[in-house]
Chains A and B, each alone.
Chain A
């Protein structure tokens, strides 16, 4: 399959341009020679124009007399960023193009090659430079939980397909104990639109896959908050009219390039008692956790962690009625992956 090429003979030869014979006119031209400074008069910065009034340095010392350093010296110590003082004259206010600049789409190539011949390449260029779709799927938490000797599991997946500002999102979360029925499982299908550089507005539906069959309308925001918190917040209205909400936030704290500590907080809220779901009005449940992951590659990182959850208020009562401890500590081992 592989053609053995004579690599050796081709190697390095790129370097070998023939030395140019000295047909070029001679000496006198030796390069480091001082040259007359091309700028005859560069006045020091007019104080009003200089954003750094107070500088005492002239904009351009232009020491043309220094034979050794030549121009580099003069040029370099104002290698500083920003003197805009001595530019060639020109307009400073933007004005629209003159009518002679014409109007309409760029179609010069159509005249040469024909509009039909150009169409496919135009479309391809348009489709591949800016707005194009990508697919992303992440299992942020995909873990085994050890609590009071009882082992459970949890998944937290999300995925999108779309362009940089307009995407379809899919989310799924669920948990349970091994050997028992799944306790909680839900899927969400959302349309997501960028409303700010770091924020998407999301709307769609959520279907609960466990317990009493429940469908919710979803509206939420997801994005990156100041200090790099990844935030996902949503309000749910069930088909029975119950209003609940969910907020979670995560933060990646990079210890090394590959070892990352991720604190995470989650709060579930309810606007009313939802006995059917064992939720009390107000704060329903709070989770605080921290996970330490090692990115073997960016896309694949096993982790360990600990998480504490509390049912609060009415929800705590419901939990006790069920014979559960309203608070629980989970030790978790899992894998975070994406592609």
Chain B
């Protein structure tokens, strides 16, 4: 009954979005609500509903409050913007000015960071870097011109509030007509829900190795690993099964705030072109997104238009956005599957031709395993394994997305003898070598062509960064004048994460500095076994992905694959101090963060 009701509204489109906002509870509009106990993650307070309304205009009022959320019967802490999780869609138009009045009804400081938006640095919303934060009962006014268009989002940059629901979508309509035609425009915001206090999660990540991983290797698992490989991983003290640190059942994966059994539905008519704006607003999750039976044409990445490219699946790292266009065919329904990268669960929505129409949902695929290539072992015997698909795989040679490092454990044929997983002489002298560095990638290679963990051996077309090309030519195509190499470092056991071996707490006063308008190539080298979605605030960078400089895709998040490197070119033309960090929230709090300072045109900071 609920479904039917809602579906009718969905058909009505804009009418119901207005109605939705009217339904925001009174507490969210300024009344005091209070979870008590001095924590911003209380479970008390009103229930926060899933889903969101829409706001637009020159002046937008937002209120941050706490309450509780119930997802598929499980009750967890909630922090909501305007009383819903996700928070309301903020819909703006390129060229307008906007004033956003953010009122804090929590009893802890809060903030909103406009992810991907080009703003003056003091409006970027990072307490301690761009502004002092928003104190309880205070209203802070953000004000800036809108200089871009596309699909973005916003979220808290205070504490761990994002995990509890403090995020929402932000769409900017272009001043010029859209270059791509479509009949319907939908948002799919993926996120992760937990019943736990995020501070508890942080603490357990530091104290309990593998605490949230329910797919650890064991005597009775089904992982295709030989005894020799298992012993090798044990010898190295590295978990081959640590794909995301946290998975189901700790997390329930959400689509627009709803669990997979809660029936998110997008209506379509056969043959319509549907634009789906996919936002990964999770705290710590990667998703592999596919719609069985429907190819997807990627038209934008991180809000920036790209040359259309058709795929069957793509991985979306934390904080990335992709816009895709699909054209549903004759089926009554299609399942939009956002499978978590560790395959412990999925976010789920339906494209439905009739309210309530349901497509069959594919089962979770087997969880992927890390390989020796994810330790940067790309030479010697490992390489043969790593390239099995390409060298001999004539049968599936044409199978797309293939040939990256073998998903099948490749390392069995050789031992670690004579190879060091922590040869610190491979690191440049500016990396601090200490207990916070548990691994050094042996031969880090550029993996722009890697579709991501779990997707290297699937039999259909999968997106990778090499396939992205800017639709509109980049303005600055100067050859970078210098290279900045940053090493992503970590210690899984201690849950320390850092750039160049120093956690943020050690480098908060040592920014990465760029001169005004300097053109820099930044090389990120991942000396850990996890994929890190690295995010730079305030500016787009261009992925060095094999395209000509004017077509390198603009992004603000780049996934650096385990043991691999990734490069981007940056024009430092947004003066001020900016946050630069891994967008996995517990990695950021574990230390993988630094400030970037861009000196202004007159030489001022």
Q: Could you list some 11 contacts between A and B, CB below 8 A?
A: A12-B51, A16-B14, A19-B182, A31-B325, A76-B461, A76-B462, A87-B546, A97-B513, A106-B509, A129-B590, A228-B237
B379 near A78 with CB under 8 A, answer: no
Question: Chain A contacts of B545 at CB under 8 A?
Answer: 87
The answer to whether the Cβ of A296 comes within 8 Å of any Cβ in the partner chain is: no
Q: Are B214 and A101 in contact (CB under 8 A)?
A: no
- Known pairs A20-B178, A77-B402; A15 contacts B513 (CB<8 A): no
Partner of A136, one of B14, B128, B169, B207: B207
Judged by a CB distance under 8 angstroms, whether B593 is at the interface is: yes
Q: Is A55 an interface residue (CB 8 A)?
A: yes
A11 touches B177 (CB 8 A): no
- List which B405-422 residues lie within 8 A (CB) of chain A: 405, 422
Least CB separation from A160: chain B residue = B207
Report the stretch among B98-106, B362-370, B495-503 that lies at the interface. B495-503
Give the chain B neighbours of A255 by CB distance below 8 A: 218-220
Partner of A60, one of B184, B514, B546, B577: B546
Interface membership of A213, Cβ < 8 A: no
Known contacts A19-B13, A87-B544; is-contact A79 B449 (Cβ 8 Å)? yes
If A24-B179, A77-B403 touch, does A14 touch B86 (CB 8 Å cutoff)?
yes
In chain B, residues 8-39, which have Cβ atoms closer than 8 Å to a Cβ of chain A? 9-10, 12-14, 16-17, 19-20, 22-27
What interface size band does chain B fall in? 35 or more
A156 to B247, CA, bound (A): 32
Closest residue of chain B to A26, judged by CB? B181
Contact A88 B549 (CB under 8 A): yes
B265 touches A72 (CB 8 A): no
Q: Among A32, A76, A125, A128, which residue has its beta carbon within 8 angstroms of that of B467?
A: A76
Partner of A19, one of B128, B185, B307, B516: B185
B401 contacts partner chain A, Cβ-Cβ < 8 Å: yes
- A20 neighbours in B (Cβ, 8 Å): 178, 182-185, 275
- B-side contacts of A51, CB under 8 Å: 378-379, 383, 443, 445
Chain A residues with Cβ below 8 Å from B299 are 31
A72 touching B256 in the complex, CB below 8 Å, given contacts A10-B84, A16-B10? no
Number of A-B residue pairs at CB separation under 8 A: 467
CB-contact partner of B109 in A79, A83, A121, A165, under 8 A: A121
Is B318's CB within 8 Å of the partner chain A? no
Q: Apart from A77-B398, A257-B215, what are 10 other A-B pairs with CB-CB below 8 Å?
A: A14-B187, A16-B186, A31-B325, A38-B469, A87-B546, A98-B482, A109-B121, A134-B203, A255-B218, A255-B220
Shortest distance between the CB of A110 and any CB in chain B (Å)? 9
Question: How far, in Å, is B291 (CB) from chain A's closest CB?
Answer: 15
Q: Do B47 and A5 touch across chains, with their CB atoms under 8 A apart?
A: yes
CB contact under 8 A between A103 and B513, given known A13-B17, A81-B450:
yes
| Most chain A CB within a 10 A radius of its CB, from B391, B456, B597 | B597
Does A179 count as interface, using CB distance less than 8 angstroms? Answer: no
B177:A82 contact, CB within 8 angstroms? no
Task: Give, as a whole number of angstroms, the nearest-CB distance from B433 to chain A.
Answer: 10
Interchain residue pairs A-B with the least CB separation, the first 9:
A130-B503, A125-B128, A130-B591, A130-B505, A76-B400, A194-B435, A105-B509, A82-B445, A100-B515
Complex Cα–Cα for A132 and B160 (A) = 14
Indicate the member of A5, A71, A255, A298 with the most B CB atoms within 10 Å. A5
| B71 CB-CB contact with A under 8 Å | no
Residues of A within 8 A of B132 (CB): 109, 113, 117-118, 120-121
Q: Does B59 contact A (CB under 8 A)?
A: no
Partner of A72, one of B128, B400, B491: B400
Query: In the complex, which residues of chain A have a beta carbon less than 8 angstroms from the beta carbon of B521?
Result: 90-91
Q: How far is the CA of A83 from the CA of B545 in the complex (A)?
A: 10
Interfacial chain A residues near B128, Cβ < 8 Å: 118, 121-126
Q: Does B234 contact A (CB under 8 A)?
A: yes
Say yes or no: A11 contacts B483, CB within 8 Å: no
In the complex, are the beta carbons of A108 and B187 less than 8 A apart? no
Q: Inside 8 A of B185's CB, which chain A residues have their CB?
A: 17-20
Q: Assuming the A-B contacts A97-B482, A97-B514, are A13 and B400 also in contact, with contact meaning beta carbons closer than 8 angstroms in the complex?
A: no
Q: Would B506 and A121 count as touching, CB distance under 8 A?
A: no
> How far, in whole Å, are A75 and B403 apart by their CA atoms in the complex?
12
Residues B237 and A5 in contact, CB atoms below 8 Å apart = no
Q: Check if B438 sits within 8 Å of A76, measured CB to CB.
A: no
Residues of A within 8 A of B389 (CB): 80
**B261 interface residue, CB < 8 Å from A?**
no
Q: How far is the CB of B278 from chain A (nearest CB, A)?
A: 13
Inter-chain contacts of A5 with B (CB < 8 A): 23, 25, 46-49, 83
Check if A254 is an interface residue, CB within 8 A of chain B.
yes
Chain B residues near A298 (CB-CB < 8 A): 204, 208, 211
